[in-house]
Amino acid sequence: MPVLNMVQAINLALKEEMQRDDSVVILGEDVGKDGGVFRVTEGLYDRFGAQRIIDTPLAESGIVGAAIGMAVYGLKPVAEIQFMGFIYPALDQILSHASRVRARSRGRFSCPLVIRTPYGIGIKAPEHHEESTEALFCHTPGVKVVVPSTPYNAKGLLMSSIRDPDPVIFLEAARLYRMIKEEVPEGEYTIPLGQARIAREGSSVTIIAWGSMLHRTLQAAEGYDAEVIDMMTLSPFDEETIYNSVKKTGRVVIVHEAPKTCGFGAELSASIAEDAMLYLRAPVMRVTAYDVVMPTAKLEDYYTPDVSRIRKAVEEILKY
């Protein structure tokens, strides 16, 4: 079984899905001969040709708009946006059109579209290249939001996303692209969307994280009897796994690299308060980035949650 990093695992998922299904096409800036800004689509142009690996102009709204048309027509487009901070020109296409095709047509049409984009810290680049604004999409009915944290899960989740009949925003933590490797099987396997996983079992406190923050959280959990949940899908999220963990531990810390106000941690915190309040022994705590514009590279490490900030929150909640 090959040992792959995240880039290689996503590339393998794309290749195998394109081999399996002729209706899968890829489009985006530099995805063809150049293989994409992070080389995720490397080699696919030579294998599948310009009819299925389509280089586009630098126009995010056009990329997503064209992909919506392809999807409604019957294709399964996988659109690449080079950085999450560049997706905003396409928000109108996503929020006003892709998310509503099924409801607007009363179920006569769907929009099987995947939008892949790297996000978050780790490459020491200016603000638009490192933002984490997943909550924008979690607030949009009709769109699923998927965030893998390991190469194995990235491949299985991407295969499920491509086969999903509705739009999926597939967020790839840039920091993880080449940070970790693990065994990733060749051939077909899928991981259901909307399902979280217990990344570490424990009984004293539940720590919830996703993407690159999962790995800092696992480091922070060492020495504690902490249960760590990897969300994997933010919308729809896996209420059952979270609530069962809350019932067991009674304490919750949520970790994300997006700003605190109206971040997805706020939705998780409110949901736990509504549906699992009687099992809580302490208030839900959030460890997040700050409510400021993503700073320059020198301040990146101060901006995002680190192991010490997560451990401090765990200590505080255990003493409550």
Positions annotated as catalytic residues are 129
Residues in the chain: 320
3-state secondary structure 71-102: HHHCCEEEEECCCHHHCHHHHHHHHHCHHHHH
Distance from C-alpha of 86 to C-alpha of 100, rounded to nearest angstrom = 22
To 5 degrees, how large is the angle CA 30–CA 68–CA 80? 25
To 5 degrees, how large is the angle CA 25–CA 96–CA 159? 30
Give CA torsion, residues 183, 189, 194, 197, to 10 deg: -30
Q: Which of 216, 228, 247 is nearest to 310 (CA)?
A: 216
Cis preceding linkage at 305, omega within 30: no
Query: What is the side-by-side strand order in the sheet with 285-289?
Result: 197-200, 226-230, 205-209, 252-259, 285-289
Distance from C-alpha of 18 to C-alpha of 52, rounded to nearest angstrom = 9
Q: What are the angstrom distances between the C-alpha of 21 and each of 17, 45, 113, 162, 176?
A: 6, 16, 14, 10, 28
AA identity, residue 79: A
Radius of gyration of the chain (CA): 19
